Amino acid sequence: MKHPFQRRLEQGTVALAAQIVRSLSWLPLGWLRRLADFGAWVTIAVTPRRQRLADANVAAVFPQMSPRERRGIVRRSVRSAWRTMVELFALPRLSKEDLDRLIVTPDASRVREAAESGSGVLLITGHFGNWEWLGAQVAHHVAPVTVVARDHRHGGLAAMINEARRSHGVRVLEREGIREMLRVLNSGGVLAMLPDQHASRGGVLVDFLGRPAWTLTGPAVLAARTGARVFVGFCIRDPAGPLRVVALPELQLVRTDDPGADVVTNTQLINDAIGQGIREYPDNWLWLHNRWKERRTPVGDA
């Protein structure tokens, strides 16, 4: 278990780095990305324990890969996360037209039709590629979106992050706001969730990329209670070109006379869809996260 001092040091370092990046957010995007690449290089150099964890995660999912291939995926993953941070702070000065130029976005008519039907839309993605710009594109091309996210522990940094999101019509809701999530979906709104991280409490133990992982059941429960339609998508960071939105077909959740079993089955379906994206674009996902760790808290509903 990580020592509290070490945890505070990591959080403080991230907060300081983000504040520096935000103060330089007026720089051209290309310069900001080079700054992010330097931050990624430093992160890799000073976090050997995290690098070993990430390497072990990649090896477990892709046992056929060589150590060199795994290291490449981890390096590109860290670089992608850093670029996402600097690109987030650049959002307030970017227009919708800028984003359309920077991101290849497919026809969003299927999701837009679902939103206009009044059934409510639940969008699922992960800490993958540029998940922040994905939310902005959904707000521009589909409908205003509410994102469920945990605020950063550093209050000033959390305010900066949420200010950048709001600049493109993305509202942020804490994970504890279940009633508001239900209200958004029941009123025909669009709710976005990122359920790809370890469920420290609640949730169920289901397969994720070939290994049992504690997974939040929130998306499956919300969909069952509201009848919302569910879509999974990602904003891919492709080294050979611009960012690109990839949308999977609408997820067909099961609805039987056993709601408890349905939650487990549908949580697995959501995990499988996220895993599909990770297997296809592995260097876009945040492998530094300890997704498969055990936990000591009692099991309950998410």
DSSP result, 232-272: EEEEE--TTSSEEEEEPPPB-----S-HHHHHHHHHHHHHH
Q: What's the angle, vertex CA 174, arms to CA 282 and CA 285, rounded to 5?
A: 5
pTM > 0.85: yes or no: yes
Task: Return the pLDDT at 159.
Answer: 82
- Within a domain: 40: yes
Query: DSSP readout, 172-236?
Result: EE-TT-HHHHHHHHHTT-EEEE---S--SSS-EEEEETTEEEEE--HHHHHHHHH--EEEEEEEE
Domain carrying residue 181: 4-284
Using a CB cutoff of 8 Å and minimum separation of 24, what contacts does 13-17 make?
14/157, 15/152, 15/154, 15/156, 15/157, 17/85
What is the structure's pLDDT at 202?
A: 84
**302, part of any domain:** no
In a domain, 290, yes or no: no
Q: Evaluate whether residue 300 is within a structural domain.
A: no
- Does residue 224 fall inside a structural domain? yes
Whether residue 157 is contained in a domain is answered as yes
Asked if the structure places residue 292 within a domain, the reply is no
Domain count, the chain: 1
Q: What is the pLDDT along the chain (302 residues), one digit of tens a residue?
A: 555 655 665 666 666 666 666 677 778 999 999 999 999 999 999 999 999 999 999 999 999 999 999 999 999 999 999 999 999 999 999 999 999 999 999 999 999 999 999 989 999 999 999 999 999 999 999 999 999 988 766 656 778 888 999 999 999 998 888 999 999 999 999 999 999 999 988 899 999 999 999 999 999 999 999 999 999 999 999 887 799 999 999 999 999 999 999 999 999 999 999 999 999 999 999 999 999 998 655 444 44
**In this structure, is residue 298 part of a structural domain?**
no
pLDDT value of position 285: 98
| The pLDDT value given to residue 16 | 67
